[in-house]
């Protein structure tokens, strides 16, 4: 029986079928965790904030700027829940919705920092930190959602 020899060139030509990277795994788990935790944490912070204002600064409860800030919080919480549903159902629209949520978060945090500055007549690092944090988040995750093969292969419905 003659042995069949395989040349190195033939081995180099042999390729395994490409595996499609898909599903919520890898780096995609980080925004998934964020989409689950963000509405919960934001809701808790919202109610703690209301309680603190009623307790320590009751005169602010009639300030329309504060109410506007509260409306922004509620809208962002609802948007995050809707986008989380799209995300976990692997909807194609989840990609643009998630990017839109990040951009909306930048503007929401900026508006709330300006509202805080106008109410308290000062700009503090506590009001600027959320703006910086969401800008860093945007710099990482917007390009990832636009370029990632996993994202393209996961959100297909």
Break the chain into its structural domains and give their ranges: 8-154
pLDDT value of residue 22:
87
> What number of other Cβ atoms are within 10 A of residue 64's Cβ?
7
- What's the pTM? 0.84
Q: How many CA atoms lie within 13 A of 64 on its CB side?
A: 0
pLDDT value of residue 118:
94
pLDDT value of residue 10:
66
Helix extents (H) in the chain: 8-13, 29-56, 64-88, 93-120, 125-147, 149-154
pLDDT value of residue 14:
64
- The rounded percent of the chain whose pLDDT value lies above 90 is 80
pLDDT value of residue 157:
84
Contact 56, 123 (CB under 8 A): no
Tens digit of each residue's pLDDT (9 = 90 or more) over 5-62: 766 666 666 666 566 788 999 999 999 999 999 999 999 999 999 999 999 999 999 9
pLDDT band at 79; cut points 50, 70, 90: very high
pLDDT value of residue 66:
93
Average pLDDT, the chain: 92
């Amino acid at each position: 029986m003659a042995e069949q020899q395989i040349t190195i060139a033939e081995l180099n030509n042999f390729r395994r079928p490409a595996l499609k990277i898909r599903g919520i795994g890898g780096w995609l788990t980080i925004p998934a965790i964020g989409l689950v935790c963000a509405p919960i944490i934001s809701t808790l912070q919202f109610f703690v904030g209301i309680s603190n204002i009623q307790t320590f600064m009751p005169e602010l409860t009639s300030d329309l700027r504060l109410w506007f800030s509260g409306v922004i919080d509620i809208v962002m919480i609802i948007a995050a829940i809707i986008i989380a549903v799209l995300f976990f159902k692997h909807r194609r629209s989840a990609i643009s919705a998630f990017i839109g949520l990040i951009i909306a978060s930048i503007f929401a945090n900026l508006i709330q920092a300006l509202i805080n500055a106008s109410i308290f007549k000062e700009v503090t690092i506590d009001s600027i930190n959320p703006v910086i944090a969401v800008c860093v988040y945007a710099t990482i995750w917007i390009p990832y959602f636009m370029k990632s093969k996993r994202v393209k292969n996961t959100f297909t419905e």
